Amino acid sequence: MKRQWLRRSGLLLLALLLALPLYAALIAASHAPGDLLGRLPWLPGNRLLHNLRTVLGAGLPGSPSVLRMLGNSLVMALGIALGKLTLATLSAYAVVYFRFPLRHTAFVLILSSLMLPLEVRFYPTFQVSAGLHLLNSYGVLIVPLIASATATFLLRQFFASMPPSLLDAARMDGAGPMQFFLHSALPLARTPLAALFVLEFVYGWNQYLWPLLTTTDARYATVVMGMQGLINAGTSFALPRWDLVMTTALLALLPPLLVLLLAQRWFIRGLTDIEK
Amino acid sequence: MATLELYQVCKRFGAASALTPTSLQVADGEFVVLVGPSGCGKSTLLRMIAGLESPSGGEIRIGGRCVNAQEPSARDIAMVFQNYALYPHMSVRENLSYALKLRKLERAEITRRVDWAVDLLGLQPLLARKPGELSGGQRQRVAMGRAIVREPQLFLFDEPLSNLDARLRNHMRVEIKQLHRRLGTTTVYVTHDQVEAMTLAQRMVVMNHGRIEQVGTPEEVYAQPASAFVAGFLGAPPMNLLAARVSAEGTHVLVEDLAPLPLSAPQPARAGRAVTLGLRPEALLPDVDGCWTVTLNLIESLGGEMLLHAGVGKQACVLRIATTTSPWREGDTLRVNVASTALHLFDADSGQRLPS
Ligand SMILES: Nc1ncnc2c1ncn2[C@@H]1O[C@H](COP(=O)(O)OP(=O)(O)OP(=O)(O)O)[C@@H](O)[C@H]1O
Ligand SMILES: [Mg+2]
């Protein structure tokens, strides 16, 4: 009884700790800039809607429209998530169900790239993208990031855990490789796919360094990366516009949260029971 | 419907041989059961017939045509798997109609066939459910439905009942038999359960270590087992196999410490040689004037009959007596008689049956 109480209060404390910056952002976003000079009020103010309207409407002077940045982020996150899922599903399917030369080697290669963080290959990837004249486009935000060892690995495990007699039954029924993929493998994999979609969407949304390196044109700025510019723009006033910066930050947080909440049930099931 | 012929079909996995060259003819409409212990190659043989595995050698003919190079779906066969292998994400109705849709049959024809199978197997209340919401027996029935809607030339069953409990197994066994009566489709059925094999088979094929030991009707195989292996595999409990010797004149068989038994067919060629003597548990009959004395070690009652585990000389054997109460107790000695027509002799080395 006592242990449980201890554990609960511990969890509560951690949750509060995590929520604190969010609360601070909410407070800053709901006050007038004058209220934020040198202090942070304890309670939220009443200017949240007003600030939201300002940010989404006019934006901050000297920086691209927040709405546009949100749109760019959405394109990038969706593109990366869908691209990763497509590639990973197809390669996992190939590795599990087709016998081709060096099949195992191919899988080990994919798997070993799991060890390499994205940043390690920034330089060569940048060179290649520049060589292909991809810089400053949606393509460069998405295409170089859509290979995923994690997703390939998880889906391979999923396909490998499906009973082999399912494939036998499909072959007896006259389903070819693509029909088995579309009619059986894909629908059966929808839980892990949903979970992976959430993970990869958040991953794509939170990309910072790569968009910063490859897009200099403000038309392609994403909101996470644009935040930096916003802070510069916001603090260049005599009265720093922390209210608007924080409103934008809150807006930037929303879509990943929304995706996670909407797919929560699938997400948890997909990560816990890989079986089916 | 069609005939099935196998000519010298064999299968190797790497260096290991799973099936030695095997030939078998199955007549049109026949129900053949492949039976044998685990790992003897039954599934391998069945999967080669289905086309899911390609033979390392030999030829498979269905309806007279060689199908070695054909895809499974082109062979016009339906198969029922041990774990049912229903599509978990499709409803029962979709499971039934999937193969027909892939074959691009007309919608009316698909509906007709599915409705027919649904009627035949009583699946009406289950149509909208997913396989995960069905009991084992229901899944089994859907799996059979999925096979029969295709109206194939040949049915293959791979241990379809082994995941069911004993009562349901008996029930489904009868259903399968009735289904075969109604449809008359040529069927190859794999099982390791000898009761299933004996009751379902028109002809049974007993396999061991990747070889066919014997092919015959259940009655033939039971009455005249071709080898000591078959004798020891069939029957519950199976035939007693005793180490024995043919007498010097070739007219009697001798089990150590026991009285000689006269042979109905003398074996002069084997005089003095070691043999295996096979005796069905019901061939040993208690008789006060009996020739053998046995010691009872254990008595098991099965309700209508009793199994007596007894020592005969230095060896052990089982007697089956049709009686409800035992006049004997464990530790008693008992005289039994052995009918000379009930003797089975097998070569001690090869296990082959000796003519009698
Ligand atoms: N894909 C495979 N690779 C290697 N060996 C295999 C393969 N499939 C089967 N075998 C071997 O072939 C032999 C026969 O296997 P099979 O599955 O036909 O046995 P079975 O008679 O069906 O047994 P059970 O009653 O257990 O199903 C076994 O020794 C098995 O280990
Ligand atoms: Mg098997």
Q: What is the pLDDT of residues B68-127, one digit of tens each?
A: 999 999 999 999 998 999 999 999 999 999 999 999 999 999 999 999 999 988 899 999
Based on the domain organization, do B25 and B129 belong to the same domain? yes
Q: What value, to the nearest 5°, has the Cα angle with vertex B159 and ends B227 and B19?
A: 50
Asked whether residue B211 is assigned to any structural domain, the reply reads yes
- B209 compared with B339, residue with greater pLDDT: B209
Residue A56 binned pLDDT confidence (cut-offs 50, 70, 90): confident
Q: Is the Cβ pair A183, B88 closer than 8 Å?
A: no
The CATH number given to whatever domain includes residue B161 is: 3.40.50.300
Look at residues B192, B226, B260 and tell me which one is the last residue of a structural domain: B226
- Report the atom number in ligand 1 closest to the C-alpha of B14: 4
Q: Are residues B58 and B156 in the same domain?
A: yes
Q: Cα separation of A95 and A182, whole Å?
A: 16
Quick: pLDDT tens for B231-252: 999 988 899 999 999 998 888 9
B213 and B98 fall within a common domain: yes
Predicted local confidence at residue A273, as pLDDT: 57
CA distance B175 to chain A (A): 22
Instruction: Mark whether B242 and B198 lie in a shared domain.
Output: no
Tell me the best of B33, B43, B49, B157 to mutate to test the pocket of ligand 1, counting ligand atoms within 8 Å of each CB and taking the most: B43
Is B87 in Cβ contact with A171 (below 8 Å)? no
DSSP output for chain A: -HHHHHHHHHHHHHHHHHHHHHHHHHHHHTS-GGGGTT---SS--S-HHHHHHHHHHT--TTS--HHHHHHHHHHHHHHHHHHHHHHHHHHHHHHHH---TTHHHHHHHHHHGGGS-GGGGHHHHHHHHHHTT-SSSHHHHHGGG---HHHHHHHHHHHHHS-HHHHHHHHHHT--HHHHIIIIIHHHTHHHHHHHHHHHHHHHHT--HHHHHH--SGGG--HHHHHHHHHHHHHTSSS--HHHHHHHHHHHHHHHHHHHHHTHHHHHHHHH----
Residue ranges covered by each domain of chain A? 65-236+245-271
pLDDT tens digits along B179-233:
999 999 999 999 988 889 999 999 999 999 999 999 999 999 999 999 999 999 9
Q: Of A169, A179, A187, which is closest to B81 when you measure between CB atoms?
A: A169
Question: What is the ipTM score, two decimals?
Answer: 0.84
Q: Are residues B260 and B239 in the same domain?
A: yes
Give the domain-ending residue among B226, B260, B276: B226
B254-282 pLDDT, tens digit each: 998 888 998 888 888 888 899 999 999 99
B26 touching A (Cβ < 8 Å): no
Residues B184 and B169 in one domain: yes
pLDDT over 70 percentage in chain B: 100
When the pLDDT of each residue in chain B is averaged and rounded to a whole number, the result is: 91
Cα B28 to ligand 2 centre (Å): 24
In a domain, B197, yes or no: yes
Residue B146 lies in a domain: yes
Ligand nearest to the CA of B81: 2
Residue B354 lies in a domain: no
- Chain B segment 38-57 residues within 8 A of A by beta carbon are 47, 50-52
Tell whether B24 is covered by a domain: yes
Q: Evaluate if residue A37 carries a pLDDT over 80.
A: no
Q: For residue B37, which atom of ligand 1 is closest to its CA?
A: 25
Average the pLDDT over A51-80 and give the result: 85
Average pLDDT value for residue range A254-273:
80
* B43 and B17 fall within a common domain: yes
Residue B167 and residue B18 share a domain: yes
Indicate the number of domains in chain B: 2
One domain for residues B264 and B178: no
Ligand nearest to the CA of B49: 1
Q: How large is the average pLDDT for residues A243-263?
A: 88
Q: Please tell me the distance in Å from A187's CA to the nearest CA on chain B.
A: 7
Ligand 2 centroid from CA B33, angstroms: 13
Residues B207 and B85 in one domain: yes
**B168 and B254, same structural domain?**
no
Q: Which domain holds residue B37?
A: 4-226
Q: Write out the CATH class of domain A65-236+245-271.
A: mainly alpha
Assess whether pLDDT exceeds 50 at residue A276.
Answer: no
Ligand 1: residue of B13, B17, B22, B212 to mutate (most ligand atoms within 8 A of CB) is B13
- B134-155 pLDDT, tens digit per residue, is 998 899 999 999 999 999 999 9
Our mutation pick for probing the ligand 1 site, out of B19, B22, B40, B56, counting the most ligand atoms within 8 A of Cβ, is: B40
Nearest to B99 among A165, A174, A276 (CB): A174
Boundary of a domain, candidates B188, B208, B226: B226
Mean pLDDT in residue range B292-308: 90
| B27 and B46, same domain (yes or no) | yes
Task: Decide if B88 and A172 are in contact by the 8 Å CB cutoff.
Answer: no
CATH number at residue B307: 2.40.50.140
Q: How distant is the Cα of A168 from the closest Cα of chain B, in angstroms?
A: 7
- To test the contact with chain B by mutation, choose from A161, A172, A179, A275 the residue with the greatest count of B C-beta atoms within 10 A, namely A172
Q: Is residue B356 part of a domain?
A: no
